[in-house]
Amino acid sequence: MNINFTIIGQSLIFISFVLFSLKFIWPVLLGVMEEREKRIAEGLENADRAGKDLELAQKRAGETLREAKEQAAQIVNDANKRAAQIIEEAKEQGRVEGERKLATAKQDIEREISSAREALRGQVATLAIAGAEKVLGTTVDAKAHASMLDKLATEL
Amino acid sequence: MASESEALTATGYIQHHLQNMTFGKLPAGYHRHNADGTETVLEKATWTLAHTSEEAAAMGFNAVHLDTLGWSLALGILFCFIFGRAAKRASIDKPTGLQSFVELVFEFVNKIVIDTFHYKNRLVGPMALTIFVWVFLMNFMDLVPVDWLPTLAMKISGDDHLFFKVVPTTDPNATLGMAFTVFMLMIIFSVKEKGLLGFIKELTCHPFFAPKKFWYANFFLVPANTLLETVALIAKPISLGLRLFGNLYAGEMIFILIALIFSGMAFSSFTAAGFASFFAGSVNVIYWLFALVVIVMTLWLNLKGKLSSGKAYLLLLIELLFIGGLSLLGGGLAHFGWLVLHVLVITIQALVFTVLTTVYMAMAHAKHDEEH
């Protein structure tokens, strides 16, 4: 219980341990823990950011999907319209073609009629002469009555 | 001198436990009492181990407590080893068991420092950590049963009267040594932060200082301030050191008293007397070992199923009666009870020393002018 040199010895030991702690323990542990804190903070921040990114991506995906749906609907709509148009066009074309064919047919018929008439007209004189010969019992000189015959043919 | 019988009395036992192993210089002409009753007069000053507390007192300041310094050094090295190792191998991502524990302590101390000390100083943190762990370890030696290590030291050295205190903090030299180191640092940092003039001003012009109009009042106020502040300043290290010492000293005293009461009762029993006649001086260790072995064996037999519980209880009762009545059991319970309380005491005292040191450091850095 006496105060003696021990008090100074203890002081020196104390100081040496504090210095050891100052040099080898405290800064190392502080560094490790600060580094870990930093890493945890970074990790949390990253997680936060990832969450936000995910949300953003989901939103974007939704938007893209919606756009795609709209586009698809648009395309279907357009296709329908185009189909209707094509049908209309086809109908119109058919009608026009039919009319054209009809007109051609009518022309053909006209032509046939007129050609038949021409042919008939050519033969009228011969027929008339043959008929008259039968009636008169003589030969009719075609040259003598040519003017009358031509007149008949034109009247025909 | 009847040192044989002295060692067996209660006073002798207690005194023996409270004396440090002192190595010092006995002055010339000192009358040494030898164990066999003769007296030797020293012709010249001699460096030697003190055999009695009177000799230790006669050595004055020229002495060291080998046990105090040895244990504090050993425990400090233990602290440095554990913490240094953990720090060296510290991993950021995968802390192992030891590292987690060290970090827990570190975090705890760091929080105290951050909460109390708001200035820039690299030394305060490491000092707080060192104090907390080291003082705790030194205090912890108090929980080792009071007779174990001293008896072991006696057996190893072969000297039955060897003084050996294992708790450095029950030596005021140790606690005051640390407290005055803290005090020294306080003054150094005070002067460093505020300048010598600022430090002196703090001592003389605080807390009472007259305004310029009544400047003459300061002739009375400055001496009063000086007295007040000096006392307050000196009181800090003394209270810091003595608080730790007092708590641990009282705690150890209780352990000694419990050991004394119950071992006294145990030794008065029949079996102990028989042992004493066989082993004479070394009855202490062998007796306790024998008691321990017998009781543990009984319990072990019961546990293995070789002995029914009823028979085991009966056997234990008989054994306890033979060993020393129920005093062993009572002593064990009393020791355990005080141990539980004392675990709190040693932790709290280590914490108090740490916190106060940090607070004192903060006070040394605080500038009074800024507060007003």
Average pLDDT of span A96-119:
93
Sequence spans of domains, chain B: 4-17+66-281+330-371
Q: Can B239 be counted among the known catalytic residues?
A: yes
* Structure confidence at residue B264 (pLDDT): 62
For chain B, give the mean pLDDT.
83
Q: Give the residue-averaged pLDDT of B167-184.
A: 94
List the single best residue of B52, B59, B178 to mutate versus A (max A Cβ within 10 A).
B178
pTM value is 0.71
- Alpha-carbon separation of residue B108 from A139, A152, B101, B114, B133 (angstroms): 156, 143, 11, 10, 11
Residue B271 banded pLDDT, cuts 50, 70, 90? low
> Which carries the bigger pLDDT value, residue B293 or residue B135?
B135
Using the predicted structure, report yes or no on whether residue A2 has a pLDDT greater than 90: no
- Per-residue pLDDT band for B257 (boundaries 50, 70, 90) equals confident
CB < 8 Å & 24+ apart, contacts of B87-96: B87/A24, B87/A25, B87/A28, B87/A29, B87/A32, B88/A24, B88/A28, B90/A28, B90/A29, B90/A32, B91/A32, B92/A32, B92/A35, B92/A36, B92/A39, B93/A36, B93/A39
- pLDDT band per the 50, 70, 90 thresholds, residue B53: confident
3-state secondary structure of B121: coil
Q: What is the pLDDT of residues B98-134, one digit of tens each?
A: 889 999 999 999 999 999 999 989 999 999 999 999 9
Q: Any idea which of A8-17, B129-138, B261-270 has the lowest mean pLDDT?
A: B261-270
A35 has a pLDDT exceeding 80? yes
Instruction: Note whether B321 contacts A: Cβ–Cβ < 8 A.
Output: no
Interatomic CA distance for residues A54 and A61, integer angstroms: 10
Mean pLDDT of chain A: 90
Q: Measured between beta carbons, which residues in chain B are less than 8 angstroms from residue A30?
A: 106, 110, 125
pLDDT at site A22: 94
User: Over the stretch B324-368, which tens digit does the pLDDT of each residue have?
Assistant: 655 556 677 777 888 889 999 999 999 999 999 999 999 999 876
Residue B153 C-beta-side C-alpha neighbours within 13 Å:
18
Chains A, B: CB contacts within 8 A come to 132
Top mean-pLDDT range of A76-80, B257-261, B293-297: A76-80
Best residue in B68, B173, B361 to probe A by mutation, most A CBs within 10 Å? B173
Residues with Cβ within 8 Å of residue A110, at least 6 apart in sequence: none
Question: What's at B63, amino acid-wise?
Answer: A
The answer to whether the beta carbons of residues B163 and B67 sit under 8 Å apart is yes
Tokens of B197: 């003039």
Asked if B269 is an active-site residue, the reply is no
pLDDT of residue A116 exceeding 80: yes
Which of the four pLDDT bands, split at 50, 70 and 90, describes residue B369?
A: low
Q: Which residue has the higher pLDDT, A154 or B243?
A: B243
Contact B88 A8 (CB under 8 A): no
pLDDT score recorded for residue B368: 65
b/e string for B268-290 if b means 16 or more Cβ within 10 A? ebebbeebbeeeeeebbeebbeb
Per CB-CB distance under 8 Å, the chain A contacts of B88 are 24, 28
